[in-house]
Chain A
Amino acid sequence: MEIILKVNQKEHHVIVDPDEMLLDTLRRLGYKSVKRGCDTSNCGICSVSIDHKLVPSCSYLSVRAQGKEILTVEGLEEEARLIGESLTAEGVEQCGYCSPSLVVAIHTMLEELKNPDKDEIKHYLAGNMCRCSGFEGHHRAIKHHMEVNLNGGQ
């Protein structure tokens, strides 16, 4: 069946199977930042933003995404660069496999929670697994990003 997906403000006419998951469609369309992890909605590696909500694309039907705003890390551009620099500065960026979904998760978190504290950050990102780090670096990086990039160095 043919559907229209709006990804990072760009419309794609694409033919999908009825039971095709968004992860597979996005990768087929060239959004290779969207990675397959556990494929059971548990690890968060495949997360994208749909209508400003973080969802696991491995379990989200492509046909359901029609008419919605899909955001991947490719659509974040400058914000992704700034978050990426904070992550790198804190040594979080190691294998890099979880980084695209983590950046999208940080983006949706900061849309939803205006000034989250450490506990709120930990809770929001609990479903985003990173097998390289111990997550402390993530918290430092997000704090740095919020203080330097969002609050003008405050």
Chain B
Amino acid sequence: MSERNKLSSKLDTQVDDPIVSLDHLRVEFETDGGTVVAVNDISFKVFPGETVCLVGESGSGKSVTSLSLMRLVEFGGGKITGGKMLLARDGKKTANLSEVDVDTMRSIRGNEIGMIFQEPMTSLNPVFSIERQLTDGLRLHTNLSASETREKAIELLEEVRIPDPEKRLRQYPHELSGGMRQRVVIAMAMACRPRLLIADEPTTALDVTIQAEILSLINRLKRETGMAVLFITHDMAVVAQMADRVVVMYQGNLIEEGTVNEIFSAPKEEYTKALLAAVPQLGQMAGTSLPSPLNIPGASATVKPTSGDIGIEKKTLLEVKNLVTRFPVYGGIFRRKVANVHAVENVSFTIDRGETMALVGESGCGKSSCGRSILRLVEPESGQIFLDGKNIISLNGTELRSARRDMQMVFQDPYASLNPYMRLREQIAEPLNNFGLAGRSEVDDIVHDILEKVELPTSFLRRFPHELSGGQRQRVAIARAIVVNPSLVITDEAVSALDVSVQAQVLNLMMSLQDELGLSYLFISHDMAVVERVSHKVGVMYLGRLVEVGSRSQIFENPQHEYTRTLMAAVPIADPKKRNISNDMSFKPIPSPVFPVGHTPENPIYEEIEDGHLILRN
């Protein structure tokens, strides 16, 4: 237990009374399949001015706990079936939130407890102005006049560092960027000066630079107002950056509680240790040149470090030269092309056999378009693509189809990329039948074999996708990709939607498959720490252009381009002793890649500062 806890129990002073204390909270959901216990037995306290991080993987009950505190869990069909949630109220009697009536709860929501949610894109009502959404809480909980509420709204926007607050008030959510929207949501939650702010995965849907800004904003507001923060996240790096104390949850139970230093330097429970081990840490790979699997305690130690030496002599597999992909924007009476989105602009790189090249960058930088252009899922405007010497751009429809056998793709969302009506056997056999690669008798053997390779039990063959977990589905997606024996696999954010421990397993699987089959990966990702772990080569994309490319160590240990450095500075480090999120971070917003028709961008000029380390100089 923390010092503070001991102190408060000893002296029982006003100062150290917790704002909320959860006492054996239990929450259940009635479903068609019976009662599901989402939170089994949770007790913890939040004290004034501190940040408590509630951490756990999906299904741990962390969000349900926070929704229960707001009594919002009932709207989703949940029911608080046991325990107390005591809220200390300013000048009023302590309330037990498990039992208070609807009207009291409404006077607490948005007033004494503020809450922000995960999705800034959907957290704001699209048909109401910012002013209305920002002021309706104030109108409800305070007696301010109309002009005072408006002034207060402007003040709030200034507080969350939104430029031009008066103009913003008149705008609608769709006119703001994701980062701006999350700031508005925070301003809304802060409107009535709550004593507790609950933040439920507030940065999960945001780019890393915007995440850094939002985290620093929450820290600053906490310092300035003295409110307590209950921060719900699955991201251990964010925990390390934000928490004073940490509560680790697993399947509705509290596993471990302690100060952030205790949890990170001396975790007591196996689960906490496993969770921490599965998190790739930026900078962890310094001094090594090859990718290396993640440690998963409890898992068999058979995952050996990838050799990088796969017995094939180093040979270029994929060569991309001056690739350009643009998407038209139509407008006017006759729907003519009025502008172009310059998604991929003059990008060149090569991937060797058995090598992983990562493309990193923030949303909209063109990394996914680049991957799709290589498969010609979107048609590039110009440039050349050679796979094993074959000119992909010049192929006709039939030739392209057979060429795609050599380059397969794994997508981000394993829920959407598998056909829900097909059993796993058919899912995996489908690519074989597509390309006519195996006779009826052979198919079963190959499918069995592949299933073993992706470490799924053969009993799964008759299952449908909805009977699998996210990680298992992604294994199926990988199986579908490698069953046709490709030389290149393009993975587009393939592990981004997975829990850390599952992510670690899938990454390790991908690395061992590379070792075994000599695969090359084009690994598209926004996660710098994962990229550092898995790749031989890294390309950093910004506004459709490759701004820096080089070996993993060149990029991570000696970043030269300004944007690469910005990106690195914004990545939270999973170590509470290395806090890099300062109190007022602000990064330049990424400009628009839309240009009028006829705009010809300059040819990129690269400077080679080391062997293979190129930096864009214009």
Same complex origin of A and B: no
